Amino acid sequence: MDPEEEEELEQIRRYEDFTTIDWIQDTKLERSRRLRHARRANIQRRGPHGEVTVPWIVAQLRKAADSVSSWFVVSLVGVGIGLNAAIMSIVSEWLSDLKMGYCSDAWWLSQQFCCWEMEGEEVDGCDSWNTWSSVTLVRWIVFILYATACSFVASHLVRSLAKYAAGSGISEIKCILAGFVMQGFLGFSTFFIKTMTLPLVIASGLSVGKEGPFVHVACSIGTVVAGFFETYRRSQSKMREIITAASAAGVAVAFGSPIGGVLFSIEEMSHTFSIKTMWRSFFCALVATFTLSAMNPFRTGKLVMFQVTYDRDWHFFEIFFFIILGVFGGLYGAFMVKFNLQVAAFRRKHLANHGVAEAVTLAILTATVGYFNRFLRIDMTSSMAILFKECEGGGNIHNLCQTERQWQIVNSLLLATIIRSGFAVITYGCKVPGGIFIPSMAVGATFGRMLGIMVKAMYTAYPTSGIFKVCAPDIPCITPGTYAFLGAAAALSGVMRITVTVVVVMFELTGALTYILPTMIVLLVTKAVGDFLGTNGIADEMIRFNGFPFLEKEDHPYNVTVASVMKKELHTLTETGMSVKDIETILSNTDVKGFPIVSADGALTLVGYIERSELRYVIERARKTRGRINALPCLFTAHGDDDLDLPRDPGEGEEDNPEQYFAPTTAGELQFTPWVNKTPMTATPELPLEIVMQMFKRMGPRVILVEEHGVLCGLVTIKDVLRYIATEKPGHRPSWDERGGLDGLLEELWTWGSGVKARIVSWCLRVLRR
């Protein structure tokens, strides 16, 4: 077979775009490959004269290579992710500082490296760092023009070269790990463009972060590297293992948290997580983090810019203020998820073809407003690095620790919290690379630091009264930086609805157990508020908004049977009596992904199931082998048991005699039997729908056929279940855009606030009755 034929057959065989993988069939194919390799390896060890045979040695070497190849691939992926993260961090920091000024000693240095003689601390400037002008108006104009240029270049490259590079990518990767096929989403072009444009987006000042897209970039690296190895190209399940490990490494390098990265993959990304996958994810995250540490991009020995260490203990009276931070995190998460979906609906309806103009407009608006607030002017990572600091460790940047200016700082922080929240709502999801992790953490950090300053002011005014009596007089009682730290954790947990991962990430950032308990308290309150308001994580909501076939966290509809959801009008094939021309006509007139096979006697007795791609494959290969075959009859059932050992995976077993598999039989029929699934997964019409949903989640079939006493009466897919939930589930309301622009938005805000108020009143009444 020449290379062109092999390439064409690969195009015919692979899963089609925007379809789901049938994990049961994929497992069967993987088992068939293992059995075939085992037969090949079962070679006689000793020759006729007692010597060790060369084929046996080759088989043993191949077996050993297969056993270590997975760890080798995971190592390569980890190294690639670490190098990529280090380079992007350095470039992002330099481009972000460039909008404020330049280094006269070396133009390619960021402000931190330019002012390195300031003992590595965050500084407002030094003699070597020159601003673009001494006139505020000129600096403001340069700031806006720079943000405009960066956003334009980034959005134009994404629109022109890699549309999948836009956004965070976490929602899509969750679906890919669950078996959804998106050709090109993890390809090289997406990886290259996202790596190139993400630093530009961060430099533009848009309210998006690079930590979320790190996961997408890491999974792209994993896919590209694993694609060089045939074992992973041929197995969807093995490729998903590499993608899962890469997602863990992406979070690990984003936050300097290898254990947190593994937990993120377990809690948020993968719906099935085996022990083997966990160990590979941990190893990949470890290698990536070690590579990033060796690169030392910030020259501080820390893995992220905002990594901190807190050595002072906290007091029990602060739990009340920690609860306030948790409530804020839950409210912010509900607000962000609720209205970002409304903005996404407006964007889909009105701005689908204006991605570049939208990104540029948002950049101009963000730069114009943000320049006049000290905490919005600098990038969010640097802002958090400042807000997390203790006053005694060089944390007096922007006068954060000056008592005489504390209320001015509080006002700036409050304004930054409100403005950043609004910009995060309208910016997340626009057609540029960007995530929601860092914007949410920045919102929580500004609110937390504000609360910490207010608590410290209370202590300064009344040091010997009430709850402050437990404070030692010789050491600071309140550390506002810890409030910023906990506020960032609360906001991140509120918008993503993850808890254990955030606790571990924050522990690895601080490097101490001192604030583990406060972090757990804050996040439990955040989760309770989120559950109370009935909100889901933004990744899950975006999956539902985009209509992806994903059932991981769907509510189960009860008292519903499969008969209410299944498709009853089916396209079927008969086991005999159809010609190749008949099948090609059906293929051209339908777009379904597979066909049930029924008996030819008209009784609709279920015989099997065959995929659309396999029908196309067999027909095209037979046409290359035999020429004209339109009039040939097709056979979907075997006359005997001779076909039981035939390969079901197209391409397997063709090396020796391709005619055996694609030539007509002695009876003049085209044989489809080796590719027919004779035992498809079935259900009865009376089976509860929640059980069918569990079958989809745990076993991963593409389709479940519905039969009653052996007679086919329908089929159900994941999309059918999702469609039923979306249309039949009560409580659906049209978006504010559908109800009329600004008036609809105001109505949505009022309704949302009224709903929150009603829930609080109802809860209070229940408590009083008790």
Average pLDDT of the residues of the chain:
82
pLDDT of 642 > 50? The answer is no
- The whole-number average pLDDT for the span 53-67 is 64
Between residues 357 and 466, which one has the greater pLDDT?
357
Describe the chain by its helix, strand, coil percentages, rounded to 5: 60, 5, 30
What is the CATH architecture of 319-545? Orthogonal Bundle (1.10)
Q: Which token pair is 551?
A: 């059932």
**Confidence bin at 556 (pLDDT 50/70/90):** low
- The whole-number average pLDDT for the span 757-764 is 56
**Structure-derived torsion over alpha carbons of residues 615, 620, 623, 628, reported in degrees to the nearest 10:** 70
How far apart (Å, rounded) are the C-alpha atoms in residues 200 and 178?
32
- pLDDT (tens digit per residue) in 18-41: 778 887 777 777 777 666 666 655
- The whole-number average pLDDT for the span 465-494 is 88
Superfamily of domain 562-717: CBS-domain (3.10.580.10)
Q: Which token pair is 402?
A: 């000056």
Q: What is the pLDDT of residue 122?
A: 45
**Confidence bin at 629 (pLDDT 50/70/90):** confident
Q: Is the distance from CB of 209 to CB of 435 less than 8 angstroms?
A: yes
HEC string of 85-148 equals HHHHHHHHHHHHHHCCEEECCCCCCCHHHHCHHHCCCCCCCCCCEEECCCCHHHHHHHHHHHHH
- pLDDT (tens digit per residue) in 332-389: 999 999 999 999 999 999 998 999 999 999 999 999 999 999 899 888 988 898 898 8
pLDDT of 744 > 80? The answer is no
Phi, psi of 311 (to 5 degrees): -110, -10
Which of 50-54, 512-516, 690-694 has the lowest average pLDDT?
50-54
Contacts of 317 (CB under 8 A, 6+ apart): 467, 468, 470
Which of 198-202, 410-414, 497-501, 740-744 has the lowest average pLDDT?
740-744
Q: Which token pair is 305?
A: 């810019």
Q: Is the distance from CB of 662 to CB of 616 less than 8 angstroms?
A: no
HEC string of 583-633 equals HHHHHHHCCCCEEEEECCCCCCEEEEEEEHHHHHHHHHHHHHHHCCCCCCE
Classify residue 332 as exposed, middle or buried by CB count within 10 Å of its CB (0-12, 13-18, 19+): buried
HEC string of 438-470 equals HHHHHHHHHHHHHHHHHHHHHHHHCCCCHHHHH
What ranges do the domains of the chain cover?
Answer: 68-295, 319-545, 562-717, 733-770
Give 671's DSSP letter: E
Whole-number percent of the chain with pLDDT over 90: 41
- pLDDT (tens digit per residue) in 343-355: 999 999 999 899 9
pTM above 0.95, yes or no: no
Q: What is the pLDDT of residue 646?
A: 42
**The domain over range 68-295 is classified in CATH as 1.10.260.40:** no
How far apart (Å, rounded) are the C-alpha atoms in residues 33 and 224?
23
Collapsed DSSP state (helix, strand, coil) of residue 760? helix
Does this chain's domain 68-295 share its CATH topology with 562-717?
Answer: no
Q: Which token pair is 421?
A: 């929240």
How far apart (Å, rounded) are the C-alpha atoms in residues 361 and 365?
6
